[in-house]
Chain A
């Protein structure tokens, strides 16, 4: 499980996270919603040790993420992450994109790495694109490639940072379908998202971020359908119009 305890994070004098507490159990899907600048993406970066924290701690399966002596490269293998920008490696084919990390990080043989990559690419519906270069594919396809690339590392958790925000509207559906499929597979996921309807549908728990704190948290039928806090109501009325 992921335990987030009283996490504070600042960029210079700007405090972005002001004491976040959040537990994510195995198999849970947690959606993080909130306005831009509320700190929700920053939290994902802290979980993945891309950003350090100033106070508190984050523990992933008993490993203190920011403790001295933690092998963060190794830790990141447990935590797959997909970004708003898909960041496909442009010099590699689809299959090479997905098999690179298994080969050089997990030290699998080329054959094993390719096998795993093919399996994950088939899973996200890119089975006919192995030899394609990602720059020739749509944003939706590249984002599914990014998901397969992360899954090929056999992570225990997946972190999604607004993965549909940069997509053309007609491509959002295919990526959300992929996330639904992962939920059905039982993957533990934290989704930072603006897709409120999607969050309501797939989440066990929704956390509403507001000005660096979790303003309201609970099952979606509570936080999204029946919010208690003023800030939550205001935010939802704006995004759901």
Chain B
């Protein structure tokens, strides 16, 4: 039973399995980027507007999320939530933690964006009769978001790469599917190079685009 036939080489039949991993990586990254961006926008805005006390409090929580390695947060949360009797699907656990982690970084990006909009620009909006929220929607948000787009893209890219860590709690993303393939085929070199190429193909054009936008905004 444990003979040489247990190890079978990589074949085209594995492509469906690999594709599942690819799609799951894209899926969990996208969900985390979207949720993290929305939450980050709200938290970043609150931080730009809030008083010192609220800011210190919020800042502390965000510092923890940013400073504790993602892999530890994933293992801690999935173990704890299981131990208190609410075992969650790896996708849900991964999404929650990855989104919060993303939010922690995004909130700083957006806070910087909101704070980059000069007070005089806001006053100009108010003097035209705009309400507080109208200046937020039509002045601060569009101007602030433009200013931080390259930084936002940078965070989003690192989320795609960090999503590989969700494999440790059992989510079938690209790294975990490739680990399973490696244990069956014993071809780690080919498989890991292939996975690396995938991340490169996704990340590199986006980071080039970010640099392009940055250059364009500088002129």
Spell out A's residues near B (CB within 8 Å).
48, 50, 73-74, 76-77, 79-81, 83, 85, 87, 89-91, 100-101, 104-106, 146, 149-150, 153
Cβ B128 vs Cβ A153 within 8 A? yes
Spell out B's residues near A (CB within 8 Å).
118, 120-121, 123-131, 134, 138-139, 142-143, 146
Cβ B134 vs Cβ A85 within 8 A? no
- Residues on A with C-beta less than 8 A from B138 are 89, 100, 104
Cβ A105 vs Cβ B123 within 8 A? no
Cβ A105 vs Cβ B120 within 8 A? no
Docked complex Cα distance between A79 and B128 (Å):
8
Cβ B134 vs Cβ A104 within 8 A? yes
- Interface of A, helix, strand, loop or mixed by DSSP: mixed
**Shortest beta-carbon distance from A104 to chain B in Å:** 6
**Shortest beta-carbon distance from A103 to chain B in Å:** 9
**Number of CB contacts from chain A to chain B under 8 A:** 58
Count chain B CB atoms within 10 A of each CB in A74, A81, A101, A153 and give the residue with the most.
A101
Name 23 interchain pairs, CB-CB below 8 A, sorted by A: A73-B126, A74-B129, A76-B126, A76-B128, A76-B129, A79-B127, A81-B124, A81-B127, A85-B120, A87-B123, A89-B121, A89-B143, A90-B143, A91-B142, A91-B146, A104-B130, A105-B129, A105-B134, A146-B124, A150-B127, A150-B128, A153-B128, A153-B129
Count chain B CB atoms within 10 A of each CB in A85, A104, A106, A149 and give the residue with the most.
A104
Q: Chain B residue with minimal CB distance to A48?
A: B127
Docked complex Cα distance between A190 and B143 (Å):
30
Docked complex Cα distance between A72 and B129 (Å):
8
**Shortest beta-carbon distance from B137 to chain A in Å:** 8
Docked complex Cα distance between A83 and B118 (Å):
13
Cβ A101 vs Cβ B126 within 8 A? no
- Residues on A with C-beta less than 8 A from B131 are 73
- Residues on A with C-beta less than 8 A from B124 are 81, 83, 87, 89, 146
